[in-house]
Structure 1
């Protein structure tokens, strides 16, 4: 580094040491002094003591002063004379030069495409080439063009982090992904209103509104059915459950490592169930039977559904506002497009969190499960409040409520596995996730609402068959999820040593044996079987309850398609080999 600075100083001194045509040295500028006069203890190379011989030339980086002076004089003769202001400008610029390790790195380009880690390799290769060029340039004599090339490449104005983030977002050269999922922008525009309307239409169909009202009259009728008490009750319940998920009680579980370290999830779902059950028992003891009857009625249930839709919209808007000033590293790679509507739908931020208190996606996941339990409890207490005895209730209704209780309690018991799910790892915090979590509890409760309004009787052996189908799907669902969770958290677990894997260029491994060697998404198959077992309790008297498992099956099958597309873009050849080994996504022999 010292040799490099000395050569720059030699070039700046040349115009002051060059001789005129008569062989005399020109007069020094009074405004500037030579470096030798500034530090009397340090002599210029031209006045070096003859007693000290120049060292032998061992490397191109160290040359004798006489050689420097000779080549520098030849340089001055061959090039145009350098003016005093140019020398002053070069000297000022060279003062700002610093070692390469201290130069502030430029803001990294955001790699928005799902591909292998070639961008980091290219950047390392490029930096290595620049360093090699610097080493080669040390062996050559410094010329004005070479000096200015170094200045242009190395000297970059320092920018603050916020300015770099804004420039990376607004730069026209930044690569954006095109809206691909859900049919692109047109499909997203159609899906946004279709999601709540589909669930709302199914629940309105249970009260035969489509047969009694014309299509032009159902909107005013629906407005009259909305009860502010039901809407406010649902939103208050969601806020309470969100606060319960942030209470410092329960066990802390480490999630998967990300760019910010490991997020610790507060798993107190069972405690939340106990507190919710106490609140329902207190309301029952206080003789609030009229509230249960009102909320479990058709108009009350529609009001709760309207409150869920408003809650989903509110959370979606809050999350998109929160993502405005979020770091670039926390953005969702699938939602960095030029379309504001698409980014709002998919979710601009991958893992929206509020400080170290709670994770929004984990909180909404908890609310969805607790709402499913509470709605079934509300329907059960509503039936009892109307004068029905627990023994007079139909067995299919009790069986369906019990099976849904078991499913929800299992999700809360194993909620520590949420960190390894597709929702936590790949789903953005946007309208899609917020509205899905708000509407999902009303999909399986469509079946229990039908059974509460229509008495269905079946022999006991038929219900035993339904239970067998349920537990068959549960074994697939829980076994595959447990294997995936353990493999993602600790791939070196001795209990998984017998499993065959395919390595990827990203350092991860793909399971090709066990549950995940049978199907690419066996947990989705188990979930679909569970949902179809619930609807079998309704029989075949009406096709409307079958809309519930149909919604779930279509959503999971398309999620499998989305996950497969992303994995193919992320793992490339490794994913192709995995697909060759495991050809079916969800349903063996079909899809």
Structure 2
């Protein structure tokens, strides 16, 4: 019973610590892409996610050195902790929706999608979307580290290298995500989505507890045997996906912030109607949503690395991306068609593939 209560409350404690660190750790103040609906000015953000991540990992390591079982605590109480995170996600979603003016849509639509696009608190010191992404990413990292620690504490020298490879790939995923925080201010989530259950519950409960499902499903299992060539292949799949996702986002970021400048030697080519402009070469010439393919490949590399390809549970992670991103591509294409009109038709004739080059 003690573990159940402590495990249930653990996410709340971690989220509060992360929030406090976000408020007190020095941050860069940057101007984003989204326009404030009230002032008409570009929104400002305080970004220090990478610093908060590093401090959070150091706090986790320090707690483990003081009491070794704390290294694997999040894995040991994972189901109680998940229940706590699910509760926090629902409470946050209710608060962020009910505190905003009625939109005219049904309550269920408002609750799921949200009413506010870009809410900020503490005089702009905390942006809801960036806070959610940071909290979710750091909790994901701690869950991955705790799972790997549990596996090592159980099996010692007989541990599976794949568990540590998978945890390392997740760590890279989180570290580079928080390193390039500013780039994500130019992504779909910020200019097209509102803040409700989908985003709030997703970042507080789903994202940090579902993404490490490969580790949760295999950390208690013995090593399946090591195939070095396959491990290298899985790592290459991950970094191939990372190259597509990060490269595409960075090219778009450079194009939005430094028009005309080359990115990785790629000079931007565009289509324009005199008012609106679309990027049509480099990563964005391969497919209209090449970054989505990158996300799916990264997930595949992470789950394959644990070494249990026949276990169905890890496959839920990349399948989730397929279920999420393919419909999002369709929605985004509809939105772009409405926004750009004939220019988008011209773009589609130039860049024929939606996500997977030469296939889809």
Q: Give the TM-score normalised by structure 2.
A: 0.90
Q: How many aligned positions are there?
A: 352
Question: 1:520-558 CA distances to partner (integer Å, 9 max, x unpaired)?
Answer: 111111111111111222333322221111012211222
Residue pairs, 1:184-583, within 5 angstroms: 227-247=4-24, 249-256=26-33, 258-259=35-36, 260=39, 261-287=41-67, 289=69, 291-293=70-72, 295-297=74-76, 300-324=77-101, 336-354=103-121, 355-386=123-154, 388-389=155-156, 391-438=157-204, 439-455=206-222, 456-493=224-261, 498-504=267-273, 507-537=275-305, 538-583=307-352
Q: What secondary structure sits across from 1:227 in the alignment? A: helix
Partner of 1:118: none
Asked if the contact 1:477/1:524 (under 8 Å) is kept, the reply is yes
Task: Give the match for residue 111 of structure 1.
Answer: none
Structure whose residues are more often helix by fraction: 2
Cα distance, 1:294 vs. partner? Answer: 5.1
- Rounded Cα–Cα distance in structure 2 between residues aligned with 1:467 and 1:293: 25
Give the Cα separation in 1 of the matches to 2:273 and 2:104: 27
1:36-77 deviation line (CA, Å, top 9, x unaligned): xxxxxxxxxxxxxxxxxxxxxxxxxxxxxxxxxxxxxxxxxx
Instruction: Give me the whole-angstrom Cα distance separating, in 2, the residues matched to 1:558 and 1:590.
Output: 17
> Given that residues 32 and 43 in structure 2 are in contact (C-alpha distance below 8 angstroms), is that contact kept between their aligned partners in structure 1?
yes
SS of match in other structure, 1:586:
coil
Q: Secondary structure at the match of 2:219?
A: helix
Distance in 2, Cα, partners of 1:494 & 1:278? 38
How far apart are the structure 2 equivalents of 1:369 and 1:574?
Answer: 37
- CA-based RMSD of the aligned residues comes to 2.3
Q: What is the distance in 2 between the residues matched to 1:583 and 1:501?
A: 15
**Gap change, CA 1:582 and 1:492, over 3 Å in 2:** same
Structure 1 position 234, deviation (Å): 0.6
In structure 1, what is the Cα distance between the partners aligned to 2:266 and 2:273?
Answer: 18
Deviation at 1:463, TM superposition (A): 0.6
Q: What is the alpha-carbon distance in structure 1 between the residues aligned to residue 345 and residue 243 of structure 2? A: 28
Q: Whose relative contact order is higher, 1 or 2, with alpha carbons under 8 Å and at least 6 apart?
A: 2
**CA contact 1:248–1:266 (8 Å) conserved in 2:** no
Q: Matches of 1:237 and 1:481 in 2, distance apart?
A: 30
- Give the 3 Å change call, closer, same or farther, for CA 225–508 of structure 1 in structure 2: farther
1:358 Cα deviation after fit: 1.2
Deviation of 1:252 after TM superposition, in Å, equals: 2.4
Q: Relative to structure 1, is the Cα distance of residues 589 and 249 closer, same or farther in structure 2, using a 3 angstrom cutoff? A: same
Q: Secondary structure at the match of 2:198?
A: helix
Q: Which runs of 4+ in 1 moved over 6 A?
A: none
| Aligned-partner Cα distance in 1 for 2:250–2:58 | 31
Q: Secondary structure, in 3 states, of the residue corresponding to 1:236?
A: helix
**8 Å CA contact 2:31, 2:42 repeated in 1:** yes
Cα deviation 1:241-287 (Å, max 9, x = unaligned): 12322335032222125143233322212211221122112212222
Q: Which runs of 5+ in 2 are unaligned?
A: none
- Check 1:338–1:287 CA distance in 2 against 1; reply closer, same or farther (3 A cut): closer
**CA offset at residue 344 of structure 1?**
1.8
Asked if the contact 1:225/1:302 (under 8 Å) is kept, the reply is no
The answer (yes or no) to whether the contact 1:524–1:586 under 8 Å persists in 2 is: yes
Q: Measure, in 1, the Cα distance between the counterparts of 2:2 and 2:233.
A: 38
The CA distance in 1 between the partners of 2:158 and 2:97, in whole Å, is 49
Deviation of 1:225 (Å): 12
Structure-2 separation of matches of 1:311 and 1:503: 45
TM-score normalised per structure 1: 0.56
